[in-house]
Amino acid sequence: MPDHISHTESVCPECLQRIPAMRVTNGTETRLIKHCPQHGAFSTPVWRSTHMATKFSDWLRPKIPSTPPTISTTVEKGCPFDCGLCAEHRQHSCMALIEVTWKCNLSCPVCFASAENNSNAPTDPTKSEIFQLLESTMQTTGGCNLQFSGGEPTIRDDLPELVAEAKRIGFPFVQINTNGIRAAQESGYAAKLAAAGVDSVFLQFDGLRTSTWQAFRNADLLEIKKKAISAFANANIGIVLVPVISPTINKDEIGDIIRFAINHAPAVRGVHFQPISYFGRYPVAPADAERITLPELAEELERQTEHLVATGDFVPPTCEHALCSFHANYIINDDNSLQLLSVPKNSCNCKPKPAAEGAEKARSFVRSQWAAAEQKQSFKPITELDSFIQKASTRRFAISAMAFQDAWSLDIERLKGCCIHVVAPDGKLVPFCAYNLTASDGTPLYRGV
């Protein structure tokens, strides 16, 4: 008999119709199991843990649902078909993502947007259209954190103008999701972004080996990334390294990525891992060995850093659904060791908390941690407390991970708790995993339809 069964809903990977699903735990593995009357049964590992700190049944964190401040669509077909957001959504927007281009200067096999570096890419939205999206997003969210994405957003020469307009309207935190190529190659470009008001960059950074870059990006980009880090650091823009992690390509580089990030702190503010998910055309379901789950990633972080961090350091999110992510916050000591700042999970008060409260905490954390470290006047610490305060203000370092859902792993309970929302071309807010969802033949649920 299974150790634990809980019920949810999902979609069929073949036809994207909503179907019942179960989370079934046997020993150290939890699988999402579902059956489509037309296309049969599907079973996908969503949680594999050998550590008590990440035991599936203990990881869940209850929340009191909070309806978003603005409801833009009515419930007709049910989740995930009425996004806008609808009245069934249970969380406010923490981060709104606006795609300013569908063009790119890379041709990555791994891409949420299926962006193209040729003339076949769709026509980009105009500057005035993006300004309108900024206005509508401010009205519907009340002013959440904002990310400009794509494609590769730096392809647009008017990106600094878009950033400046977002700041003028009142968005408190503006981030650019980028591969860093333009910042690395164009002198002064990062400074232009900083002058416009960019607080942080989400810098694609998949590893340190040539083979890793070739597999993920079809190009050897390590030296480009180093130059981009230098450019953003000189412009006083906070840098978050964002690696996609594949168990067959770069799982063994997790520790090296952390050490690289620490060596480039405080310019690098942290690492945000993204376990690989499968969007686009996958006629055959990805094998179990092609997936890495959040607890496996946490355990690899402890093992590969030789206990620089511990699996038990990582805690569930306060904002999105507990099964979506983990995070831990540290101070980097003078010897490059890490001192834990966040509260270990076994110390948490896990009584239900309002989802809206978690959203505001997440927004505030992102603004304080992912922006560049504050430039304070140097002083000689008198006490240990002085030294701690000084380090806390300039040497904070975050490690986090987010497991995006694809058609095989989609859990509608998780989707309803999503706080990262893509601003669709019509201005509606769509949870990130719904917006990027595709059937096994590549047919999208929202993107481009």
The model's pLDDT over 163-209, given as tens digits with 9 standing for 90+, comes to 999 999 999 999 999 999 999 999 999 999 999 999 999 999 999 99
pLDDT for position 273: 98
The model's pLDDT over 281-314, given as tens digits with 9 standing for 90+, comes to 888 999 999 999 999 999 999 999 999 999 999 9
Is residue 209 helix, strand or coil? coil
Show contacts of 30-34: CB within 8 Å, 24+ apart.
30/4, 30/56, 32/8, 32/408, 32/409, 32/411, 34/10
CA distances from 214 to 146, 219, 425 (A): 30, 5, 32
Query: Is there a contact between 176 and 193 (Cβ–Cβ < 8 Å)?
Result: yes
Name the band, by pLDDT with cuts 50, 70 and 90, for residue 348.
very low
pLDDT for position 377: 47
CA pseudo-torsion sign 175, 176, 182, 185: positive
pTM for this one? 0.92
Q: How far apart are CA 229 and CA 227, in angstroms?
A: 5
Give yes or no for residue 380 having a pLDDT over 80: no
Name the band, by pLDDT with cuts 50, 70 and 90, for residue 373.
confident
Q: What is the mean pLDDT of residues 373-384?
A: 57
Give yes or no for residue 375 having a pLDDT over 60: no
So where are the chain's domains?
Answer: 61-435
Tell which wins on pLDDT, 236 or 358.
236
Name the band, by pLDDT with cuts 50, 70 and 90, for residue 365.
low
Q: What is the mean pLDDT of residues 64-83?
A: 91
The CATH fold of domain 61-435? TIM Barrel (3.20.20)
Least confident range from 135-139, 363-367, 370-374: namely 363-367
Q: Provide the H-helix boundaries in 248-336.
A: 254-263, 294-304
User: Which residues lie below 8 Å from residue 198, measured CB to CB, with a gap of 6+?
Assistant: 163, 174, 175, 176, 237
Name the band, by pLDDT with cuts 50, 70 and 90, for residue 318.
confident
The model's pLDDT over 75-126, given as tens digits with 9 standing for 90+, comes to 999 999 999 999 999 998 999 999 999 999 999 988 877 766 665 678 999 9
Percent of the chain with pLDDT over 70: 89
Least confident range from 15-19, 113-117, 265-269, 383-387: namely 383-387
Give yes or no for residue 360 having a pLDDT over 80: no
Least confident range from 120-129, 135-144, 258-267: namely 120-129
Percent of the chain with pLDDT over 90: 79
pLDDT for position 119: 59
Q: How far apart are CA 80 and CA 18, in angstroms?
A: 8
pLDDT for position 390: 58
Give yes or no for residue 147 having a pLDDT over 90: yes
